[in-house]
Chain A
Amino acid sequence: MTSAAATRLPRRRRPGWVDSFLLAVRIAAIVLLIWGIAGTVVKGINGEGPTGEAWRDLVVAGIAQGAMYGLIALGYSMVYGVLGFINFAHGEVFMSGGMVGFFVANYLWDIRFWDTNFVLSILLVLASSILASTLVAVIVERVAYRPLRDAPRLIPLITSIGISFFLQYTFAGLFGVAVKNYPPPPDYLRARIGFLDLEIEGTKLAVIVVAVVTMVALYLFVEKTRTGRSIRAVAEDKEIAALMGINVDRTIVATFAVGGAMAGVAGTLWALLFRGVSFITGFLPGIKAFTAAVLGGIGNLGGAMAGGVLLGLFEGVGPQLVLAGFGIPGVSQLKDVVAFTALVLVLIFKPSGLFGERLAAEDRA
């Protein structure tokens, strides 16, 4: 048995040019960050730039979008925890939910049920979206990943990229490439709602509340239920879990199903926030959610949630807060740049992600 402590002894070596370069990058990042923020603050003092309400809306929008990223990120993180590879098709699992939800919503709109009973309608949409995402996730696991269970981890990774394209173009082929717009939510949801002295747009508040409830439910599921216990056992050691009588295949299916259900919830939240879905809708949110999972420390569920919300906030507030300080025009177009820069910076400062301590298994790819 090799001692783990021995490998953790500090290695004394002279810092090379790479270290100096990374140090320079770190210092530059901090300086630019402060400079940008300072610039924005100066503008604010001079009465330029966004107003207080505008800032509040940016923060709320960021949290709402981040909550959605967090829900999708959970799926990445859970599958990574159990199988040790990134399921890049997870964005498409999310898209499937949004897409199927659209058809249900559209039907309800056609029969005038959407207007008369919106709450029940959105619950039906949510249920169908969850069902669709869960089914897609489980089928993908069964068809594409289970045969590769013993293959090196790069192989399911590449497969997941293939599945991702397969799902995108299956949906494009079946339902066309045009963006499908959900029917509008009722006026009372689009209006601003007073909440702790803050006037918040109803849909955003609903999105945040639903996301929080879902995350709490997932936490209880993983920590308190029997299936959750099995999932944690399989994530720690598949061989031992099997020897303790746990059905590993069934537990892996459960993991994909739960991740899929989270993505399904996110699909409906996406519809509430942006209304439009198309076959390509899963791509960018999928990548962002993956970013969020890495940001929070992949394999760690709390980290995925926190990473999602943080990424949403960076993305929502970052352009105005940092980039505008340099006087760059059209900053809100640059939110994707900010999101991925945030990822790079976090990884430079803390390579295991913000909450990534628990990722101990050294054989992870």
Chain B
Amino acid sequence: MVMLDIHNLHKSFGGVEALAGVNLHIAQGEIVSVIGPNGAGKTSFFNVVTGFYPPDSGEILFEGESIVGLESSRITEAGIARTFQNVRLFLNMTVLENVMVAQHCRTRAGAFHAILRTPFLRREEAEIRARAEEILSFFGTRLVGYRFDQPALSLSYANRRRLEIARAMASEPKLLLLDEPVAGMNPRETAELTGLIRKLRDERGFTVVIIEHDMRVVRDVSDRVIVLDHGVKIAEGSYDEVSSDEAVIEAYLGRPAEVG
């Protein structure tokens, strides 16, 4: 089943066409990598899908419904969550609060319950707390126990990346967009996270799209690879197909000098 269906997506910034007519689809249960040289439009693609910027033109269908022009909070409610290339956590809030706050769009107790502190609200609070703890335990022991109540700014860089993924998981998305999840991690941490990305799909049932520069990660996790360059899709297929595609090699390495 097609989960995300994108037709002829355009977005320009000034004179630069970040997305120049992208067509692609993501099927349910897939892990898809989006790769391409710097400035290819990968992050712009995430930004437009999550409602960060509206597209100039084109269609974005999520589970058959158009999400173009929706506010980001609505798109999150519809079931898309993301992380950022340059980690953006609520640094002054605790680890647990970061994960709890992302569940707000799934809670139902409104102002009435909040003012009266009804049993319903308290039960719901206990539930989102328990869920937050459960989600954090996905990363083993790194974000649990005494870490729960530490502010996010006390975390190491790798833990911040993990927490950001946990926060995205907490909004109960169907589609998880990870923007360079292993950037800046050492080889061991990268290997660990590569395993976790597969688990996100296999155990948690998320459909995952990742933007990644680390080709080993791309090779190890992807069912399918989509290559963007200058805002258009230039290749698509398995890792092996894409890595031997001439257009892709040219985009990364440049055109070989004419002989003679």
Contact = CB atoms under 8 A, between A and B. Distances in A.
Asked if A pairs with B, the answer is: yes
Interface in A216-234: 225-227, 229-230, 232-233
Contact of A233 (B86, B101, B125): B101
Contact of B114 (A225, A232, A237, A248): A225
Contacts of B52: 239, 243
Given A227-B114, A229-B100, A245-B102, A236 B76 contact: no
Interface string A227-255: 10110110011011111111110000000
A1 interface: yes
A236 to B, nearest CB: 5
A275 B73 CA distance: 46
Contact of B76 (A226, A229, A243): A243
B76 A230 contact: no
B91 interface: yes
| Residues of A in contact with B, size category | 20 to 34
A103 to B, nearest CB: 26
A243 B97 CA distance: 16
Contacts of B7: none
Interface in B106-138: 106-107, 109, 111, 114, 121, 125
A243 B72 contact: yes
Contact of B92 (A1, A241, A246, A358): A358
Contact of B102 (A226, A239, A244): A244
A250 to B, nearest CB: 9
Contact of B73 (A1, A226, A232, A247): A247
Nearest to A227: B114
Interface of B: 50-52, 71-73, 76-77, 81-82, 84, 86, 88-93, 97, 100-102, 104-107, 109, 111, 114, 121, 125, 167, 171
8 contacts: A227-B111, A229-B101, A232-B97, A236-B90, A243-B72, A245-B76, A245-B77, A246-B104
6 pairs of A and B residues whose beta carbons are closest in the complex: A245-B105, A245-B76, A242-B72, A244-B102, A236-B90, A242-B73
